Amino acid sequence: MISKEEITKIAGLAMLELSENEKAEYSSQLSSLLGYFNEIQDLDLAGVEPTNHALVADNVLREDTAVPSLGQNVVVAGAPATDGKSYRVPAIIETEEQP
């Protein structure tokens, strides 16, 4: 069972605000999800290579040749807030320092 503390931490990392009810709901849903993985854990997988992707094609590459980009107006058209050139976001004050 995933605890409410764990759900709160995961929600924080994903920047999700959850109500108490939602925390309880997701805690049971995530627990049953993880239960499936526990069943897999029980299998004997000695000698089986770990899978880290589900694609069939390996080594997909492209040539280093530029193609035109979308254009500034198209790019910022999808922005929730903009000055017409850039995405506008709340001021970032990450660099605030203390001695």
Is 87 an interacting residue with respect to another protein (CB under 8 A)?
Answer: yes
Between 20 and 83, CB nearer to another protein: 83
Q: Which amino acid is at 30?
A: L
CA gap 91, 89 in Å, rounded: 6
Is 41 an interacting residue with respect to another protein (CB under 8 A)?
Answer: no
Which residues, 6+ apart, have CB-to-CB distance to 88 below 8 Å? 79, 81, 82
Residue in the block written with tokens 């080594």:
59
- Contact region with another protein (CB under 8 A), list: 20-28, 31-39, 40-48, 71-79: 71-79
Positions that interact with another protein (CB under 8 A): 9, 12-13, 15, 52-55, 57-67, 69-72, 75-76, 78, 81, 83, 85-99
